[in-house]
A and B are shown apart, each in its own frame.
Chain A
Amino acid sequence: MSPDILFTGVRIVSDGIDLHGDLLVRDGLIADFGPSLGRPDGAVVVHEDDAILCPGLVDMRVALGEPGFEYRETIASAAMAASAGGVTTLAALPDSQPAIDDPALAHLLITRGRETGAVTILPYGAVTRGCKGEELAEIGLLREAGAVAFTDGARAIASTGMMRLALTYARGFGARIVQHPEDPSLALGGSATEGELAARLGLPAIPAAAEAIMVARDIALAALTGGAVHFAHVSTGAALALIRRAKDEGLAVTCDTAPPYFDLNENTIGDYRTYAKLSPPLRREEDRLAVVAGLADGTIDAIASDHQPRDADDKRLPFAQASAGGVGLATLLAVTLVRVHNEELSLGAAIALLTSRPAALLGIDSGHVEKGAVADLCLFHPDRVWRVRAKTLPGKARNTPFDGRALEGTVLGTWKAGRRVYDAALALRTGSA
Chain B
Amino acid sequence: MFYPQKHLLQIEGLQPPEIGDLLDLAESYVLLNRSGKTQRDLLRGRTLINLFFEDSTRTRTSFELAGKRLGADVINMSVSTSSVNKGETLLDTAATLNAMHCDLLVVRHGQSGAPRLLAEEVDAAVINAGDGTHEHPTQALLDALTIKRRKGRIEGLTVAICGDIAHSRVARSNIHLLTTLGAQVRVVGPPSLVPPEVAMWGTTVFHDMASALDGADIVMMLRLQRERMSRGPVPSEREYFRFWGLDFEKLAAAKPDALVMHPGPMNRGVEIDSAVADDPRRSVIREQVEMGVAVRMAVLDTLSRGHGRNVP
Residues A200 and B116 in contact, CB atoms below 8 Å apart: no
List the A residue with the shortest CB-CB distance to B195: A199
Given A318-B111, A318-B113, A320-B111, answer yes or no on A200-B89 (Cβ-Cβ < 8 Å): no
User: Is A169 part of the contact surface with B, judged by Cβ < 8 Å?
Assistant: no
Residues A272 and B132 in contact, CB atoms below 8 Å apart: no
| Chain B residues, Cβ within 8 Å of A321 | 111
25 contacts between A and B (CB under 8 A): A189-B230, A195-B197, A199-B166, A199-B195, A200-B197, A200-B201, A201-B113, A201-B134, A202-B112, A202-B132, A202-B133, A202-B134, A203-B112, A272-B116, A272-B117, A316-B89, A316-B91, A317-B89, A317-B117, A318-B90, A318-B111, A318-B112, A318-B114, A319-B113, A320-B132
| Chain A residues, Cβ within 8 Å of B172 | 200, 202
Residues B195 and A319 in contact, CB atoms below 8 Å apart: no
Residues of B within 8 A of A (CB): 12, 89-91, 109, 111-114, 116-117, 131-135, 166, 169, 172, 195, 197-198, 200-201, 230-231
Residues B90 and A317 in contact, CB atoms below 8 Å apart: yes
Q: Mark A130-170, 1 if CB is under 8 A from B, else 0.
A: 00000000000000000000000000000000000000000
Given A316-B91, A318-B90, answer yes or no on A272-B230 (Cβ-Cβ < 8 Å): no
What is the CA–CA distance of A317 and B231 in the complex, to the nearest angstrom? 24
List the B residue with the shortest CB-CB distance to A321: B111
User: Which of B90, B131, B230, B231 is the one whose CB lies under 8 Å from A202?
Assistant: B131
List the A residue with the shortest CB-CB distance to B169: A202
User: Is A271 part of the contact surface with B, judged by Cβ < 8 Å?
Assistant: yes
User: Is A196 part of the contact surface with B, judged by Cβ < 8 Å?
Assistant: yes
| Chain B residues, Cβ within 8 Å of A320 | 111-113, 132
Residues B91 and A196 in contact, CB atoms below 8 Å apart: no
| Chain B residues, Cβ within 8 Å of A199 | 166, 195, 197-198
What is the CA–CA distance of A217 and B204 in the complex, to the nearest angstrom? 37
| Chain A residues, Cβ within 8 Å of B131 | 202
What is the CA–CA distance of A320 and B198 in the complex, to the nearest angstrom? 21
What is the CA–CA distance of A321 and B84 in the complex, to the nearest angstrom? 14
What is the CA–CA distance of A202 and B165 in the complex, to the nearest angstrom? 11
The 8 A-B pairs at the shortest CB distance, nearest first, are namely A318-B111, A202-B134, A272-B113, A202-B133, A202-B112, A196-B197, A199-B197, A318-B114
| Chain A residues, Cβ within 8 Å of B198 | 199
User: Which of B109, B112, B231 is the one whose CB lies under 8 Å from A201?
Assistant: B112
List the B residue with the shortest CB-CB distance to A204: B133
List the B residue with the shortest CB-CB distance to A318: B111
What is the CA–CA distance of A317 and B132 in the complex, to the nearest angstrom? 14
Given A189-B230, A202-B134, answer yes or no on A316-B113 (Cβ-Cβ < 8 Å): no
Known A200-B201, A203-B133, A320-B111; further 14 A-B contacts with Cβ < 8 A:
A200-B12, A200-B197, A202-B131, A202-B133, A202-B172, A203-B112, A272-B116, A272-B117, A316-B89, A316-B91, A316-B117, A318-B114, A318-B117, A319-B111
| Chain A residues, Cβ within 8 Å of B114 | 318
> Which residues between 345 and 380 of chain A lie within 8 Å of chain B, taking CB atoms?
none
| Chain A residues, Cβ within 8 Å of B197 | 195-196, 199-200
User: Is A313 part of the contact surface with B, judged by Cβ < 8 Å?
Assistant: yes
| Chain A residues, Cβ within 8 Å of B201 | 200
What is the CA–CA distance of A372 and B188 in the complex, to the nearest angstrom? 70
| Chain B residues, Cβ within 8 Å of A203 | 112-113, 133-134
What is the CA–CA distance of A317 and B169 in the complex, to the nearest angstrom? 20
| Chain A residues, Cβ within 8 Å of B166 | 199
What is the CA–CA distance of A318 and B84 in the complex, to the nearest angstrom? 14
Which of A196, A201, A204, A317 counts the most chain B CB atoms within 10 A?
Answer: A201
Q: Mark A186-215, 1 if CB is under 8 A from B, else 0.
A: 001100000110011111100000000000
List the A residue with the shortest CB-CB distance to B113: A272
| Chain B residues, Cβ within 8 Å of A316 | 89, 91, 117
List the A residue with the shortest CB-CB distance to B231: A188
What is the CA–CA distance of A201 and B111 in the complex, to the nearest angstrom? 11
What is the CA–CA distance of A192 and B279 in the complex, to the nearest angstrom? 42
Residues A313 and B200 in contact, CB atoms below 8 Å apart: no
User: Separation in Å of the A267 CB from the closest CB of chain B?
Assistant: 14
Q: Mark A310-346, 1 if CB is under 8 A from B, else 0.
A: 0001001111110000000000000000000000000
Q: Mark A260-292, 1 if CB is under 8 A from B, else 0.
A: 000000000001100000000000000000000
User: Which of B117, B133, B200 is the one whose CB lies under 8 Å from A196?
Assistant: B200
User: Separation in Å of the A194 CB from the closest CB of chain B?
Assistant: 8
List the A residue with the shortest CB-CB distance to B121: A316
List the B residue with the shortest CB-CB distance to A312: B91
Which of B112, B131, B134 counts the most chain A CB atoms within 10 A?
Answer: B112
What is the CA–CA distance of A319 and B133 in the complex, to the nearest angstrom? 12
> Which residues between 10 and 25 of chain A lie within 8 Å of chain B, taking CB atoms?
none
What is the CA–CA distance of A141 and B112 in the complex, to the nearest angstrom? 46
List the A residue with the shortest CB-CB distance to B168: A202
